[in-house]
């Protein structure tokens, strides 16, 4: 299947403001792109990119004083299959884990393993190992937290989400990631697009989404504590320890995000690049 995806962000800056942005499809999905997801700006701005320590593509630019629009609109091929499921996948002993995954066992800005360690072991020490334990954590988080945009707070941590029992998808993900790490299961935070194919999602409007990947049997598997199910068409943008590593933008100066929109939807198989071009120029 083909999925059209993109965003439009409108900023107002009182003075020229340097910014780094994580908005480009992850390298693991680049080969599926049918049209490039270049970062477009209005006015046209100089920009350059680099790979961060997690392999995410980061765009550097300076927004001028006044209003600026940052956007993209692209097509990607998707297999149409749901997230991979392997209920027999087992977790590995910490001493046998590859060096590069150990960072996803440690606490981080929004995932305070030290605060939730005792609670995690009370809740999940009797749960089966491996996939079933991760699924038990996801089921718990899905039921424990009430979703609502009114509960969003950029500083909210996993421990605060656990206590408040309310939040948005990043809070579901932070809590599940933290509980997995407490149980010695490496877990990394993911950000990207999640189209509402077959009307499987509760929200009508598209937004950037958060989920996580757990390291089991030498592979990374997708889990989604917010939606509580395996879905179709995820488009990964970035991975990291938590939301601080994959923020869509980091500004180094005053700015106001005056408009924000995201789209991700299945399109007919005969949709081509000219359709995307028409949208970009309309």
| CATH code, domain carrying 172 | 3.10.620.30
Task: Find out whether 268 and 2 touch, Cβ atoms under 8 Å.
Answer: yes
pLDDT digits (tens, 9 = 90+) for 37-46: 999 999 999 9
> pLDDT value at position 257?
95
User: How many CB atoms sit inside 10 A of residue 155's CB?
Assistant: 7
Average confidence (pLDDT) over 152-163: 96
> pLDDT value at position 205?
64
**Are residue 104 and residue 222 in the same domain, yes or no?**
yes
> pLDDT value at position 281?
42
Average confidence (pLDDT) over 47-54: 96
Mean confidence (pLDDT) of the chain: 93
What phi and psi values does residue 45 have, to the nearest 5 degrees? Answer: -125, 150
The yes-or-no verdict on residue 98 having pLDDT over 80 is: yes
Packing angle, helices 113-124 and 131-144, rounded to 10: 110
Domain that holds residue 99: 94-232
Question: Measuring CA to CA, which residue among 84, 124, 109 is closest to residue 214?
Answer: 84
Token pair belonging to 239: 């991975």
**Are residue 269 and residue 199 in the same domain, yes or no?**
no
pLDDT band with cut points at 50, 70 and 90 for residue 273:
low
**Are residue 37 and residue 159 in the same domain, yes or no?**
no
- Please indicate, yes or no, if residue 86 is contained in any of the structural domains: no
**Are residue 118 and residue 211 in the same domain, yes or no?**
yes
User: How many CB atoms sit inside 10 A of residue 161's CB?
Assistant: 26
Percent of the chain past pLDDT 70, that is, above it, reads 94
pLDDT digits (tens, 9 = 90+) for 224-261: 999 998 899 999 999 999 999 999 999 999 999 999 99
User: Position of tokens 């996801």?
Assistant: 138
> pLDDT value at position 237?
98
| CATH code, domain carrying 14 | 2.60.40.2250
The yes-or-no verdict on residue 198 having pLDDT over 80 is: no
- Largest pairwise CA distance in the chain: 57
**Are residue 114 and residue 139 in the same domain, yes or no?**
yes
- Please indicate, yes or no, if residue 85 is contained in any of the structural domains: no
> pLDDT value at position 85?
93
Question: Measuring CA to CA, which residue among 172, 169, 166, 175 is closest to residue 193?
Answer: 169
Number of domains in the chain: 2
Average confidence (pLDDT) over 157-161: 98
- Please indicate, yes or no, if residue 87 is contained in any of the structural domains: no
**Are residue 117 and residue 190 in the same domain, yes or no?**
yes
pLDDT band with cut points at 50, 70 and 90 for residue 134:
very high
Write the CA distances from 207 to 117, 142, 191, 230, 249, integer angstroms. Answer: 31, 19, 11, 18, 15
- Please indicate, yes or no, if residue 259 is contained in any of the structural domains: yes
pLDDT band with cut points at 50, 70 and 90 for residue 272:
low
Burial per residue of 18-43, b for 16 or more beta-carbon CB atoms within 10 angstroms, e otherwise: ebbbbbbbbeebeeeeebebebbbee
Task: Find out whether 35 and 271 touch, Cβ atoms under 8 Å.
Answer: no
**Are residue 110 and residue 206 in the same domain, yes or no?**
yes
- Please indicate, yes or no, if residue 89 is contained in any of the structural domains: no
Token pair belonging to 120: 């995690």
**Are residue 136 and residue 227 in the same domain, yes or no?**
yes
- Please indicate, yes or no, if residue 193 is contained in any of the structural domains: yes
**Are residue 168 and residue 216 in the same domain, yes or no?**
yes
**Are residue 106 and residue 209 in the same domain, yes or no?**
yes
């Amino acid at each position: 299947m083909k999925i059209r995806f993109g965003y439009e962000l409108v900023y107002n800056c009182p003075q020229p403001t340097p910014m780094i942005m994580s908005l480009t499809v992850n390298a693991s999905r680049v080969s599926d792109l049918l049209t490039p997801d270049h970062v477009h700006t209005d006015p046209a701005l100089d920009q350059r990119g680099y790979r961060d320590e997690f392999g995410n593509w980061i765009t550097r630019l300076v927004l001028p004083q006044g209003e600026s629009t940052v956007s993209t609109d692209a097509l990607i091929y998707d297999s149409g299959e749901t997230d991979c499921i392997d209920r027999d996948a087992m977790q590995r002993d910490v001493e046998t884990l590859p060096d590069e995954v150990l960072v996803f066992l440690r606490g981080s800005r929004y995932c305070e393993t030290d605060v939730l360690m005792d609670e995690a072991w009370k809740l999940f020490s009797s749960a089966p190992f491996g996939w079933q334990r991760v699924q038990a954590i996801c089921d718990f988080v899905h039921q424990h937290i009430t979703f609502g945009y009114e509960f969003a707070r950029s500083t909210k941590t996993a421990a605060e989400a656990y206590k408040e029992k309310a939040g948005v998808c990043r809070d579901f993900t932070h809590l599940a990631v933290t509980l997995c790490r407490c149980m010695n299961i490496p877990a990394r935070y993911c950000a990207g697009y999640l189209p509402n194919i077959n009307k499987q999602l509760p929200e009508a409007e598209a937004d950037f989404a958060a989920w996580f990947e757990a390291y089991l049997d030498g592979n990374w598997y997708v889990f989604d504590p917010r939606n509580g199910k395996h879905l179709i068409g995820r488009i990964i943008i970035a991975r990291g320890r938590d939301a601080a590593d994959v923020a869509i933008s980091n500004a180094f100066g005053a700015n106001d995000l005056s408009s924000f929109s995201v789209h991700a939807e299945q399109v007919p198989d005969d949709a081509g690049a000219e359709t995307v071009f028409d949208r970009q120029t309309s």
